[in-house]
Amino acid sequence: MNPTTPTDATAAATPESRGHFIYQFIAEDVAAGRNGGQVVTRFPPEPNGFLHIGHAKAICIDFGMAEAFNGRCHLRMDDTNPAKEDESYVRAIKEDVRWLGFDWGEHFYYAADMFEQMHDLAVALIKSGHAYVCDLSQEEWKEYRGIPTEPGIESPYRKRGVEENLDLFARMRAGEFEEGSRCLRARIDMTSPNIHFRDPVLYRIMKQSHYRTGDQWQIYPTYDFAHPIEDALEGVTHSLCTLEFEVHRPLYDWVIDRMQELGMLVVRDGHTIRPQQREFARLSLDYTVMSKRKLLQLVQDQLVEGWDDPRMPTISGLRRRGYPAAAIRDFCDRIGVSKYKSSTELALLESCVRDHLNRTAQRRMAVIDPLRLVIDNYPADAEEWFDAVNNHEDPEADTRKVPFSRELWIEREDFMEFPDKKFFRLAPGREVRLRYACLFTCTSVEHDDEGRVVAVHGTYDPESRGGNAPDGRRVRGTIHWVSIRHAQPLETRLYDRLFTVPDPEADESRHFTEFLNPDSLRCVNAWGEPSLTELLPGETVQFERLAYFCADLRLSRPGQPVMNRTVTLKEARGKN
């Protein structure tokens, strides 16, 4: 079945693929022919910070639902607060959404471009008695508004006449009044158990320059007023957001109702588009923080190297770290969508990253903590180039040549002078395979004055060239290596989780930065095989038996990649 029509999309909602509750909600609307069966969603970030993996979930849902129902998804800057917003964030947001693999086509919008219509609606609401200018200060308003368990009382300005309201509102716009001295309120219900219905603010005075509209405005609409208007004006059918907006929904509907009365709703293909809001639980991840405010603090206090620090859960941070966009999308699929406020284990994200990188990343050999290995029966001036498979998981990936010589770097942890029985790598008297090269037996160990192992000596089996046992004898361990003579120095950054506890925000008596992991970044110098110098910024390889590493997008120089550890290989049980 080709799901190109609304009816087909509905048919897809069979018991086998019912989808999550948001999907079902939309499917029912489509089946009922609401909005003529059209589906238009939107992703509406405020350009006051960088997008993070929590936004990636929202993006996947917003764009994903549009795609599932053959609709479209708009990208909109929800920029109604000039105090915090900036053009640089707009650019970063666009780049991140695009990088994640989503396309908004021509449907890119700014809320600020709709300020005039918002203002018109506000004026209309004043005229119809639905809004009034209130002179109460914020402090005073606290008294009038009441608390959740008790009703509020009406503002003394609530009965102001239409003409006076119109005049005052016009003067607010003209900048005649100080910030905070007046605001425009909806006239709804001061006794409502829902606080948001108690005459919410529609417009406030802000004498700030807006990054987009400059000094054109002295008043700015609040989220509750602006958001439904933005959706309605764009003809959005399904306005999907996170749970904290659930209590705002009646107000959202109230604004839409007013627009409907005034004939302001968009008519598309003969159908009046009436947007509806629905809410899902935001993503929370172990060992990280997700609020833009906290991420901003990490950046401003220089506790990380910037919004795109590879330890940050930002899209740009994950990108620099080497997380493939496809892995992030896969993760968002796997976590599902519900209304339960859950916390996802980092292990799931890492599993998605490994899963993808295992299939796509080429293998290379590099040694992070070097120990010298000398092959006593190999000529000092000889060298050989062995064939190494680029990726056993990918038949297209081909092979490369790796240089071999008498002295090699091996990983210090791959040798144990006094091995326990579970250890089957190199030890005195033991034979291991030097990956792709040959079989090697350790015959002696060199120590320094403190008794520390400084070199391992041994002999190789000339019959085992390429790494195959000539007689089929079983070799338990295979270790990686780099020819010292050919080794390339590599600046390498080993990343770990940013926080030491699963929920850094749980203890309200402590600041979340107290739980920063001091070992979240370790810089080391590694030795890599020569081909590593050809790595392009952003390219990811697997250092065999260690981890996936990505050439840093910012710090790498031609011929000198800086390697970010993306994610380790899964540690096998029993290994040490």
Partner RNA sequence: UGCCACAUGGUGUAACGGUAGCACAGCAGUCUCUGGAACUGCUUGUCUAGGUUCGAAUCCUAGUGUGGCAACCA
Catalytic residue list: 46, 282, 292
Question: Which three-class secondary structure state does DSSP give residue 291?
Answer: coil
Residue 268 contacts residue 36 (beta carbons within 8 Å) = yes
Contact, 264 vs 303, CB < 8 A? no
575 binds RNA (CB under 7 A): yes
Q: Choose which of 164, 179, 376, 446 interacts with RNA (CB under 7 A).
A: 179
> Considering the complex, what minimum distance in angstroms separates the CB of residue 487 from RNA?
19
How many residues interact with RNA (rule CB under 7 A)?
A: 93
Q: Which is nearer to RNA, 181 or 272 (CB)?
A: 181
- Which amino acid would we find at residue 353? V
The reply on whether position 366 binds RNA by CB under 7 A is no
Nearer to RNA, 81 or 520 (CB): 81
Stretch that binds RNA, among 115-123, 314-322, 433-441, 452-460 (CB under 7 A): 433-441
Q: Give, as ranges, the residues between 138 and 167 that touch RNA (CB under 7 A).
A: 138, 141-142, 145, 147-149
Of 133 and 553, nearer to RNA (C-beta) is 133
Q: Tokens at residue 440, please?
A: 């090697």
Angle between helices 346-360 and 325-335 (to 10 degrees): 140
572 binds RNA (CB under 7 A): yes
If you count them, how many residues does the chain have?
576
For RNA, which is the closer residue by CB, 159 or 474?
474
Give the span between the Cα atoms of 480 and 467, in whole angstroms.
12
Report d(CA 141, CA 11) in Å as an integer: 52
Cα–Cα distance for residue pair 333/422, rounded to 1 Å = 39
Q: Residue 43 forms beta bridges with which residues?
A: 75
Minimum gap (Å) between residue 224 Cβ and RNA: 7
> Given the complex with RNA, which of 142 and 554 has the nearer CB atom?
142
- Give the nearer residue to RNA in terms of CB position, either 194 or 500: 194
Nearer to RNA, 112 or 487 (CB): 112
Of residues 37-56, which lie at the interface with RNA (CB under 7 A)?
44, 46
**CA neighbor of 188 nearest in space, from 139, 265, 129:** 129
Please report how close the Cβ of residue 282 comes to RNA at its closest, in angstroms: 10
**For residue 102, how far is the Cα from the chain centroid?**
14
Q: How far is the CB of 141 from RNA (least distance, A)?
A: 6
The token pair at 243 is 């749970």
Distance CA 51, CA 58 (A): 10
Residue with the two structure tokens 């403190």: 450
| 276 sits near RNA (criterion: CB under 7 A) | no
The only residue of 334, 447, 485, 554 in contact with RNA, by rule CB under 7 A: 334
- Reduced to 3 states (helix: H, G, I; strand: E, B; else coil), residue 231 is helix
Whichever of 372 and 465 has its CB closer to RNA, that residue is 465
Type of residue at 95: E
Pick out residues in 485-524 that bind RNA (CB under 7 A). none
Q: Which neighbouring-strand residues pair with 367?
A: 527
Q: Which stretch binds RNA (CB under 7 A): 12-20, 264-272, 397-405, 491-499?
A: 12-20
Residues 403-432 that bind RNA (CB under 7 A): 422-425
Q: Which of 43, 220, 415, 512 binds RNA (CB under 7 A)?
A: 220
Could you give the CA distance from residue 215 to residue 536 in angstroms, rounded to a whole number? 45
Give the DSSP letter string of 134-201.
Answer: E---HHHHHHHH--TTS-----TTTT--HHHHHHHHHHHHHT-S-TTT-EEEE---TT-SSGGGSS-E
Asked if 180 touches RNA (CB under 7 A), the answer is yes
Which residues of 383-509 form beta strands (DSSP E)? 384-389, 399-404, 407-411, 431-434, 438-447, 453-460, 478-479, 481-483, 488-495
Q: Given candidates 433, 481, 520, 550, which one binds RNA under the rule CB under 7 A?
A: 433
User: Which of 117, 213, 351, 441 touches RNA by CB under 7 A?
Assistant: 351
Cβ atoms of residues 236 and 74 within 8 Å:
yes
The residue from 7, 128, 191, 342 that contacts RNA (CB under 7 A) is 342
List of residues 6+ apart from 205 with CB closer than 8 A: 172, 177, 178, 179, 180, 181, 182, 183, 218, 219
Q: Which of 38, 81, 218, 531 contacts RNA by CB under 7 A?
A: 81
Query: Would you count residue 193 as binding RNA (CB under 7 A)?
Result: yes
**If binding is defined by CB under 7 A, does position 212 make contact with RNA?**
no
What is the DSSP code string of 368-389? SSEEEEEETTS-TT--EEEEEE
Residues 244-263 that bind RNA (CB under 7 A): 244-248
CB of 404 vs RNA, minimal distance in Å? 12
Quote the least distance from Cβ 259 to RNA, whole Å: 18
Indicate which single residue of 67, 154, 355, 407 sits in contact with RNA (rule: CB under 7 A): 355
341 binds RNA (CB under 7 A): yes
Interaction between residue 5 and RNA (CB under 7 A) = no
Nearest-angstrom CA–CA distance, 215 and 217: 5
Binding segment for RNA among 97-105, 441-449, 537-545, 552-560 (CB under 7 A)?
A: 537-545
| Distance in Å, CB of 185 to RNA, minimum | 9
Residues 284-323 that bind RNA (CB under 7 A): none
Asked if 29 touches RNA (CB under 7 A), the answer is no
Q: Give the shortest CB-413-to-RNA separation in angstroms.
A: 9
99 in contact with RNA (CB under 7 A): no
- What tokens does 115 get? 């300020």
Task: Specify the residue for token string 């997380």.
Answer: 323
